[in-house]
Structure 1
């Protein structure tokens, strides 16, 4: 969706960098001594940065354009009615940001990793996914989920003012058999590629670091899925519910406090536990002693 992909792309780029945490940290310790100018160009040749660029440009951006062309109502969250109502500059900007935001997410996470703030880098991906799901759940008017589960404007306008759980589930069920949902199911291969790239980067990092008890592939995949579709989705739902109950000002403050203590804060946060499960919080490399990196948010 146009309003969502800017956050999703950022999360993808940050996630690719997080998955390559050990490789990025190792490259930072072994900079080219020929000078800072050369080092800048070496960073642009990073294989993980190139993978981020290729993924966003070859898979992610084209999928967004296809959805915008095939389902303009749904892709714009029921704002546009057809192609003619979407300005050309919006489409152009949409394509560009689907790539540039991915590179921005990678760059921010990479800077944090090189600065020893690995958990903060991990949170960048979480921040992107949380923002993405919050727009899908709440949106700008509290009807984000209704906009998502409506294949077109006609269906969206037919939602009751205050739908019951039964009515909402019926509409979700109808949406699941719509052309939009079936197209998204076919495009799930893009998410599979995303998981494969991140899994490969994580395992490469463990091998380079000589980690004896590296997590298995299944554990890594489950951890990543729980972080995105568990923690981030539930956090977005909690924030939306609190805003509905308390209003934007108080709701946002309360939601921020709840998410800080339940997800972010290292002493109590589930996010930090998932970060530890990925074993990215130490700086062990082949031939070097293990020195845990202090947690810095």
Structure 2
């Protein structure tokens, strides 16, 4: 449901976001597989990976292929003017790139989550969405948003004369926008429901109470801002820098700023990430709540055993004949 140039990038971001949202469940699944050693429960049979691929294959891929057939000019960001300029294999490429992109994003983020580097898994989602938004906002020649908001080649050619307001209004009243709106409701709505649902599911597992530092509603808002808002703001800023300084200088300055914002151990983004309750330990390390429960159970067993040992001599003394 988005242009073919941005579809694999979006799919990568979706896959990474799904893996981070289900990070706690992925760790439990890994413990289960390694602990039981049952071949039928292999890591390839992970239900969260299967659901991610099923989502990519059933919603983003076919809706994008439909829009490519309905409006090939818009689906290629006007690199092609009509059906004659689109090779039939592009439809196959679109569907395959969405599924493969989601797979790669999920596996990359999952790898970081399992080894206790969940923040770097989150950065996979940030990278995917940043490249998506930068492609749609700036593109390869600075006309990305004009291409995105032009329903046909004529509207794109007339954009400089019509202006931003008229261009946006013309696109908002087009059949392409209506199709994007309908498909977007299903695709994005299902995506958000899955991500929020997996986050909530993970917060119910042992150890989540210690990791979740804020109420769940606030945690969902922070997660959404970190996955979608931050990359959008970054793509907008990068586009402005490229326009002002040129490609090399603009990207260099942006990379420096992004590194300062994202990478330090005490960066604000890391601090906000730590509030959401995504596990930051290796999958081999049991959740803290489980360890505490085992310690309490052991202490209780020792106390019961001690009480029984103390009571036994008293019983014997009372039963001893005078």
Are 1:5 and 2:7 an aligned pair? Answer: yes
- Structure 1: 5+ residue stretches without partners: 291-297
Which of 28, 33, 36 is the equivalent residue of 1:26? 28
Rate the CA distance shift 1:221–1:175 in 2: closer, same or farther, 3 A: farther
User: 2:274, 2:207 → 1: CA distance?
Assistant: 17
Instruction: Write the mapping of 1:71-220 to structure 2, written as runs, cut at 5 A.
Output: 71-160=71-160, 167-187=163-183, 188-212=185-209, 214=212, 218-220=217-219
User: 1:7, 1:269 → 2: CA distance?
Assistant: 25
Q: Is the 8 A contact 1:275 1:281 kept in 2?
A: no
User: 1:136, 1:277 → 2: CA distance?
Assistant: 31
Q: CA deviation at 1:265?
A: 3.5
User: 1:21, 1:76 → 2: CA distance?
Assistant: 35
Q: Is the 8 A contact 1:118 1:281 kept in 2?
A: yes
Q: CA deviation at 1:281?
A: 4.3
Q: Is the 8 A contact 2:33 2:43 kept in 1?
A: no
Q: CA deviation at 1:135?
A: 0.3
Q: CA deviation at 1:69?
A: 1.1
Deviations 1:186-231 (A, max 9, x none): 1222111111111111111111125337555543442343224421
Q: Is the 8 A contact 1:52 1:102 kept in 2?
A: yes
Pick which of 228-237 and 135-144 moved more. 228-237
TM-score of the pair, normalised by structure 2: 0.81
Q: Is the 8 A contact 2:116 2:279 kept in 1?
A: no
Q: CA deviation at 1:289?
A: 4.9
Q: CA deviation at 1:89?
A: 2.1
Deviations 1:224-245 (A, max 9, x none): 4322442111100110110111
Larger Rg: 2
SS at match of 2:291: coil
User: 2:83, 2:292 → 1: CA distance?
Assistant: 59
Q: RMSD in angstroms over aligned alpha carbons?
A: 2.3
Give the structure 1 partner of residue 232 of structure 2. 233
Give the structure 2 partner of residue 15 of structure 1. 17
User: 1:168, 1:228 → 2: CA distance?
Assistant: 28
User: 2:227, 2:290 → 1: CA distance?
Assistant: 34
Give the structure 1 partner of residue 245 of structure 2. 246
Rate the CA distance shift 1:175–1:130 in 2: closer, same or farther, 3 A: same
Rate the CA distance shift 1:180–1:220 in 2: closer, same or farther, 3 A: farther
Rate the CA distance shift 1:273–1:184 in 2: closer, same or farther, 3 A: farther
- Structure 2: 5+ residue stretches without partners: 282-286, 294-322
SS at match of 1:78: coil
User: 2:236, 2:264 → 1: CA distance?
Assistant: 19
Q: CA deviation at 1:110?
A: 0.8
After superposing on structure 2, the runs of 4+ consecutive aligned residues of structure 1 that deviate more than 6 Å are: none
User: 1:229, 1:172 → 2: CA distance?
Assistant: 22
SS at match of 2:80: coil
